[in-house]
Structure 1
């Protein structure tokens, strides 16, 4: 294969891996060594992989491969989240179901079987897709959260929580999805922009002609109102208008009355009080005659500083403790009544009286109508509102009995444990800390079907409950621990009654939260969490701060009183040309599409060479750049195979050999440091390796040794170049293989069956020469600066120049002195020297800066400046020092410095110095440039004739032959010529070169 063809390379390598069972062998190769416990965050087994999951698994695969190369026994078990609404909703879509009733009509057992079949189908497909990307995990033994062994692992933790008094049942407001008819945890809530009603309602103060003004965007919660919250320190005004007297916050009065449509002269402020004077004030509920529950309660004013502000509304906050977390908290403190007359479907129950059976949002208009004169204003508002993370249904806060984990009891322990975790990047750990600081108790029960059953049995005769931790505690064990089978298992209560299981299932985040130990209960796994904890490494996306990492932290502390993991790598999401990918909006690129165009290795390297802590912007231009890198790598190996043979390590190396070997060993060590604890920044290793390959090896070292590897050249330094190039490329493949597993295995020529059985190379400290590397860095800067200067002056790189002068720092001086011969060769200069170039300085006033300061004195200061020592002034200005002229103190910003180089020299700056070219073209230099043009023309004609590099030809010259004859050996070596003649007959291929006043014809024939 002459050119790099990703599709063909990967096809051949993939076939080889399948035939040799390479993946499984790699997973087993270090089984007796020290364990590296990596835990895979389980994706939902609910669809095709997308670029986000592709990024996630590729990052994981890199770290797994890298640690295998370091000799670790890497735990590479993939996982799948298989329960909960993500799966149920997919099956409901397939079946056309829109409610729980339709599921129950279909049959819970049938529905459970459909969910399991759906999951199995997608696990099989996702396994194949991930493996096709080159991800080597134990696909035959994933942990699957619906398996019975895993369910028992979850029950183990649930019982621990019960035994430690972290489990309790309560009724307080939680978010409910009325479409899914179940609770939604705080970490599952997403927000969207919605339009809702806004209403201003007057509440009649008892035994008074005064009223209280409240505001809300949820009229449906008014039937549950039992209090008004006021701030004890705010000023409130009694406003009289249209025959009514109504209390509102003084600061908000003007905007409220303007909204109501009143001018200033239409209302009066007749009294003002602070909020503290309203405590305990009672009022009549405007819907009391329609809502029976309101007849049993007394609404009153309560004071709080936490939840009352002046950013909007009226300064008096409608409080329904059954429908809001803040309302509930204040209600508990103030012993308020709690009403929540709404069921899981979002329909009012009989406590709501007139509104019974109505969906709450549909009842908004009816409630507004029934408010009558007490509805002072009705409009609409756009604001952020919580919605279901799976079906996008707007959520309601309802008080329905749920089971909770009391995470707030050990929140301080969680915060303390987080200090021991190495978060990459470190700011992600701070984000997790902020999440934990506001952590509430976890509503863990769900009113659904496909999930881990709550292991709680309640007696139908007494209040006794029993929590079980594994199947051994059951009197009979069903073949499947899911609903409805587990629902048929009953226990005998001590009172003689029968205990039945609570029908709820567990929050799906609890499933994945117990993965560190539940996943290891798979019979194929040979260790347990107790043997190796915490987990060594986890790697997931930005959303797991409040998701998987949160649930693990809670469950690990409930079960083992410890943190679940030691190291975490956090990655962002994948964007497309700066926009967040969205299948529905058509802004999406799948891994399959990218692989189809560029292959797996190029996609992998693109994903792995970008900082994962930032959102990754996928672009086709970026993929093109990575294709170019792979081509450079490919061409480097082709060059090595064409021009070198196997050699023993030579005793003597040239300076450029020592440099590239030093660079190689530096890269080996730095790539290891970047890719392991505590850094875990593999992208830096990728960037380092790419830069080494492109700039140090291909554009640097190989250019330096081309003459040493020319066909026919047999100088003493040839073998050193051959050995060095072969050694460097061999070690480079080993370092690069975790990033690009297909291409590196294709190019591999070692003794192992696959490059992936090779250990990571050890850095040879004796080969590292930091001073030489620093000098070569300067060398490369000088080379680039000279190339820019040549381009500016129109001097071709193949034309020699008389002299290159370099000025700069002491490090530049040392580099030039150490690398003088190499510089002369690479810069194509007859002489390269470090010298201080005498510059002429010209310092002028910057009139825009100095004019306002000097005024009429500008002229005399300017004359004094012209008479002063220009170099001395320039030095002061360059150091930012003050300059005194004619008694005026002038800041350095008031001057402009211009430098002039000696005639015939042009300068070009680099980071720590300047280069100058003496471009005088002597007759000898003209001859050399002429020969360089001849060599270029012959080489191009050889290429046009289809000759290979190693093909020797006989060549004839006619014309100004002198310069060629004087440099005949150079011509032979550069053009692979067996015989040169002058004035002979024209041969098969011919050409002509003209340069200044020189002209020559050449011709050659195909080799025999």
Structure 2
């Protein structure tokens, strides 16, 4: 293995190997009949580039997918794409330069949605490429997408179930509303978009009307209620003031003015004041005050009065609450209760209406200054102050929301609160505090789900309303559209023209004849007989034709004439029924030759010709048009082979990717009669079944109550509903794959999920909607274990966000420190639920402290190969206490890591494995075993120790393979280089076996732990006394009574570099060293330092490891010279020298040379020569 190994480049080679050898597919196939481990992929939206935040959650998914596969489970890892909703629409609006809903509708909903559909795949290949590069295994070939008809049909089924349970309803409520996007949002969406903002809070004087009393006390002139609000824009909509009935209210005189506010809130007053009166809140109820903005439609007998309310507090403000019923939830409920006027002063664009003089047409969030100025001029502004608070913003366009009363469709989640909480109790959350904390608290306060969106690109709400009796119909399938069809159904037969002069006959091939202007082919006798046979077939079925439509080509018209004469009907020609146009170059040529010139794909065609999809589009337009003209009729359509194939494919809703495969089945022979069925389905301009707007909007239904015409309510669904239905909709449940969901066990079971993982914001998103959908359906919780990650953070502590262009340095980190390096950083830097600051420097540190150490351990194995690899032993027995200890540590690591991963604790598991690699294997066992590789006692001992390290590395690679899949694959290949192996990849192996732990192994661990403890204490003493480790000492004394086994004692003696280990259980310190350095010991220290320097020089000179060289030295220090002479053999052996002589031959004579201080004041010159 090269020293300058490039991890990132090696990963690309391994990725290529995985693809070519289909390793992922093989890993799935070999577990196909095993017990399933169910995994749900939370669908991302591919209309933006992925960043490291996506990498973070996907990496955790990959870990457990790989781990459970190695543990023997079948883990289906189906990729999915979230394709609907505001995130997509906003990007399309930007691309088209559209500013609002009005401009979208002027552009055209069909065109807009087509762009939206295209946009969701804009970065699909980049998502797939990046995921693959990250080492993440997902099945991208068999993905699900939320815009597919089958997916939407399952969502409709769910909504019908909610409707049947009386959980889906239409209501009028105050909702968080985005004026820019023109739609309301759900509470879980709002929870994702709070921002701290500073806005003006104002104190307003509401002047009491004259000639009123409070408990017999005549209210003086210039008496005002003092109220406080942080939303000045709602003041034009004020219709009432609210007080707390049990609170005490004060009448305070300031100058010639009387102000009323709650006791305890006097601190908001300015200047000298005099307490005049005090009253209970209930005494104020019913008092009248003057309207601030004099809006006629808000003035009724019940408006502009004081009302009691339990939402009033005295914690801030004045204890008197300004109430605008159309712009606050509590306000709205109060208004409903007491009958306050419900009238908007703000339109759906967030602009004031014409009634609001001086503010009409102004955006509410821009109007604070003008409103404050108006109040000031009217003498009604008491004061203002900047107020910082957390305010909801649109989770996608980032603009502030307003609370706005409007119609919307809801799911009654508040009635299921107990059921939601009950299901949450069955779930294992990581981190644990999420269960009762962030998620649990959200469930305790759950509100009805505001489901509908007044938008375009989304799952259409499957509810129709009768124009006559106003009855609602909820549709639960696409077939329901046919069930409730509003008009009598037409019956359609198709007939291909009879055999003609262009068709193959008597050895002649079929001729292309698709240009009407050169049409010349008549029916043959055979063709006439075929048509007559078709007539007999119609008669046998007792068919009475009402209309015949045919192609304008001679062979089709002659066919129509024969049929028409029999039934007494004159056929109508229609150019759209013409033969498929093959282009001028094919005209008059054999059909077989022309077909060979273009590939058989849905969109392929000759120059000037038509693709089969284009034929399908025109044929579908024809059929839909005549279906509108007729009702309850039987109609015959006469055309040609390809057009009738395309028409049948249209009526059978064959998708583009499958149409070519249906040619043989759907292509009619000459004179062949078939019946087709046109259903009451929505179709787009291409003739494809498309349940999106605007096509679904054109589908009318028959009211089952009165028989009237029903039209669809125009809303689409919250896109979070799509992802919440994913466990069912990805399998088109219940229309297909029922056993996968309903079956309690079996290899094809796919509900509930055993594990899912996403970022913490999904506690208000996907985690919630999954649980909501399952609860509505009466199913158990949709997941058993949930991992919640923190956010990926930039170095300045700010959350990385796709919508803000995050993650530009993501690929640089991978290229510099590898995907494995980044993965290892994410798994080990902190716990799963913690935020992770991701910088190149931090990743580099983890890369060096683990991956490079693992690499060097593997490289050490390859540096000292045995002569015949066939002699390697697969599972060698440990030789000596050190080997036994390492095996015991491995067994313990496997057991503990398995337990942690089974409990979904990836960080402690990776740290545990990492500690074993770095501290136990590399820094302890390998360091203490180095001589066994470099200078083995025999070839057999070399084979053994190599086999042992190979075995340990292989087990480590298995342990690490879920976390760092690339480098573990590399380890597996290196360890098996030159050997015949039956398993091509480490990712096709099982997880290490959980072996029983024996008593002797426990003792070995305890004893070695003590050795390492005393070694650390002794080395700490050396550091305190500033004695280098290479300097031998006479003895070390440890605080222990029982003597170590001879082998362990030798290890401790070598670690502390002492001649003797002594024992004294009564001594004060854990370890004490004899710091008296004799001349003999000092000379040995010189020799060891000299060996270290020679080894460094060998490395600089790039000598092969087993290459013996000559060394030359010179020094003026007599003690050093004596040491070299006395310890010549030790230096030669440990430095792999052929000779060591005194003398300097002059500059340039040596491969490498240097002069340095071996110790303070002890200088030496060294030179090496091969």
Same fold by TM-score, threshold 0.5 exceeded?
yes
Q: Does the 8 Å contact 1:661/1:724 carry over to 2?
A: no
Q: Specify which of 707, 713, 721 is matched with residue 510 of structure 1.
A: 721
**Deviations 1:191-224 (CA, angstroms, capped at 9, x unpaired):** 3304245240314246424543323233443343
Relative distance call for 1:405 and 1:720 in structure 2 (3 A) is same
Relative distance call for 1:796 and 1:673 in structure 2 (3 A) is same
**Deviations 1:847-892 (CA, angstroms, capped at 9, x unpaired):** xxxxxxxxxxxxxxxxxxxxxxxxxxxxxxxxxxxxxxxxxxxxxx
- Report the equivalent of 1:544: 762
**Deviations 1:657-715 (CA, angstroms, capped at 9, x unpaired):** 11111111111122212212xx2111112111221111111111111111222246328
Residue 684 (structure 2) pairs with residue 485 (structure 1): no
Residue 854 (structure 2) pairs with residue 642 (structure 1): no
- Report the equivalent of 2:1051: 822
Residue 909 (structure 2) pairs with residue 694 (structure 1): no
- Report the equivalent of 2:509: none
Aligned-residue offset at 1:998: 11
- Report the equivalent of 2:906: 682
Q: Does the 8 Å contact 2:230/2:387 carry over to 1?
A: no
Instruction: Give the Cα separation in 1 of the matches to 2:471 and 2:738.
Output: 39
Residue 811 (structure 2) pairs with residue 601 (structure 1): no
Q: Specify which of 929, 932, 935 is matched with residue 1088 of structure 2.
A: 932
Instruction: Give the Cα separation in 2 of the matches to 1:355 and 1:790.
Output: 82
Instruction: Give the Cα separation in 2 of the matches to 1:711 and 1:818.
Output: 19
Aligned-residue offset at 1:805: 0.8
Aligned-residue offset at 1:806: 1.0
Instruction: Give the Cα separation in 2 of the matches to 1:333 and 1:183.
Output: 24
Instruction: Give the Cα separation in 1 of the matches to 2:333 and 2:76.
Output: 45
- Report the equivalent of 1:534: 752
Instruction: Give the Cα separation in 2 of the matches to 1:182 and 1:991.
Output: 78
Instruction: Give the Cα separation in 2 of the matches to 1:94 and 1:995.
Output: 72
Residue 543 (structure 2) pairs with residue 339 (structure 1): no
- Report the equivalent of 2:316: 312
Residue 316 (structure 2) pairs with residue 301 (structure 1): no
Aligned-residue offset at 1:968: 6.9
Residue 241 (structure 2) pairs with residue 228 (structure 1): yes
Instruction: Give the Cα separation in 2 of the matches to 1:712 and 1:969.
Output: 18
Instruction: Give the Cα separation in 2 of the matches to 1:425 and 1:995.
Output: 54
Relative distance call for 1:217 and 1:108 in structure 2 (3 A) is same
Q: Does the 8 Å contact 1:411/1:439 carry over to 2?
A: yes
Aligned-residue offset at 1:407: 0.5
Give the number of equivalent residue pairs.
919
Q: Does the 8 Å contact 2:53/2:800 carry over to 1?
A: no
Aligned-residue offset at 1:121: 1.9
Q: Does the 8 Å contact 2:178/2:394 carry over to 1?
A: yes
- Report the equivalent of 1:890: none
Q: Specify which of 437, 441, 450 is matched with residue 448 of structure 2.
A: 441
Relative distance call for 1:579 and 1:525 in structure 2 (3 A) is farther
**Deviations 1:746-788 (CA, angstroms, capped at 9, x unpaired):** 2213532111111111132257822322332332233233333
Q: Does the 8 Å contact 2:293/2:356 carry over to 1?
A: no
- Report the equivalent of 1:386: 392
- Report the equivalent of 1:496: 707
Residue 881 (structure 2) pairs with residue 655 (structure 1): yes
Residue 251 (structure 2) pairs with residue 238 (structure 1): yes
Relative distance call for 1:55 and 1:985 in structure 2 (3 A) is closer
Q: Does the 8 Å contact 1:576/1:617 carry over to 2?
A: yes
Aligned-residue offset at 1:499: 0.4
For residue 314 of structure 2, give the secondary structure of its aligned residue in structure 1.
coil
Q: Does the 8 Å contact 2:202/2:381 carry over to 1?
A: no
TM-score by length of 2: 0.74
Instruction: Give the Cα separation in 2 of the matches to 1:817 and 1:46.
Output: 67
- Report the equivalent of 2:1065: 836
For residue 401 of structure 1, give the secondary structure of its aligned residue in structure 2.
strand
Instruction: Give the Cα separation in 2 of the matches to 1:122 and 1:575.
Output: 23
- Report the equivalent of 2:109: 108
For residue 208 of structure 2, give the secondary structure of its aligned residue in structure 1.
strand
Instruction: Indicate the larger mover: 973-982 or 559-568.
Output: 973-982
Aligned-residue offset at 1:399: 1.1
- Report the equivalent of 1:920: 1076
Aligned-residue offset at 1:241: 4.2
Aligned-residue offset at 1:815: 5.8
Instruction: Indicate the larger mover: 828-837 or 277-286.
Output: 277-286
Structure 2: any 5+ residue segments left out of the alignment?
213-218, 483-679, 683-688, 744-748
Instruction: Give the Cα separation in 2 of the matches to 1:481 and 1:161.
Output: 20
**Deviations 1:106-158 (CA, angstroms, capped at 9, x unpaired):** 10000000000000222232122211211110011222111111111211111
Instruction: Give the Cα separation in 2 of the matches to 1:245 and 1:159.
Output: 59
For residue 831 of structure 1, give the secondary structure of its aligned residue in structure 2.
strand
For residue 212 of structure 1, give the secondary structure of its aligned residue in structure 2.
strand
Instruction: Give the Cα separation in 1 of the matches to 2:165 and 2:804.
Output: 48
Aligned-residue offset at 1:984: 14
Instruction: Give the Cα separation in 1 of the matches to 2:1158 and 2:755.
Output: 67
Instruction: Give the Cα separation in 2 of the matches to 1:361 and 1:965.
Output: 91
Aligned-residue offset at 1:516: 1.6
Instruction: Indicate the larger mover: 705-714 or 920-929.
Output: 920-929
Instruction: Give the Cα separation in 2 of the matches to 1:999 and 1:88.
Output: 76
For residue 37 of structure 2, give the secondary structure of its aligned residue in structure 1.
strand
Q: Does the 8 Å contact 2:289/2:304 carry over to 1?
A: yes
**Deviations 1:554-582 (CA, angstroms, capped at 9, x unpaired):** 11111234211111001111122351145
Aligned-residue offset at 1:980: 8.2
**Deviations 1:520-559 (CA, angstroms, capped at 9, x unpaired):** 2299989633234321111011111111111111111112
Cα-Cα RMSD? 3.3
For residue 706 of structure 1, give the secondary structure of its aligned residue in structure 2.
helix
Instruction: Give the Cα separation in 1 of the matches to 2:792 and 2:877.
Output: 51
Structure 1: any 5+ residue segments left out of the alignment?
840-912
- Report the equivalent of 2:648: none
Relative distance call for 1:424 and 1:206 in structure 2 (3 A) is farther
Q: Specify which of 946, 954, 974 is matched with residue 722 of structure 1.
A: 946
**Deviations 1:378-422 (CA, angstroms, capped at 9, x unpaired):** 535333332211112221211111111111111011111111100
Instruction: Give the Cα separation in 2 of the matches to 1:330 and 1:483.
Output: 37
Q: Does the 8 Å contact 1:445/1:505 carry over to 2?
A: yes
Instruction: Give the Cα separation in 2 of the matches to 1:937 and 1:273.
Output: 94
Q: Specify which of 759, 764, 768 is matched with residue 995 of structure 2.
A: 764
Instruction: Give the Cα separation in 2 of the matches to 1:121 and 1:187.
Output: 27
- Report the equivalent of 2:100: 99
- Report the equivalent of 1:857: none
Aligned-residue offset at 1:166: 0.8
Instruction: Give the Cα separation in 1 of the matches to 2:1055 and 2:228.
Output: 79
Aligned-residue offset at 1:588: 5.3
Aligned-residue offset at 1:7: 2.6
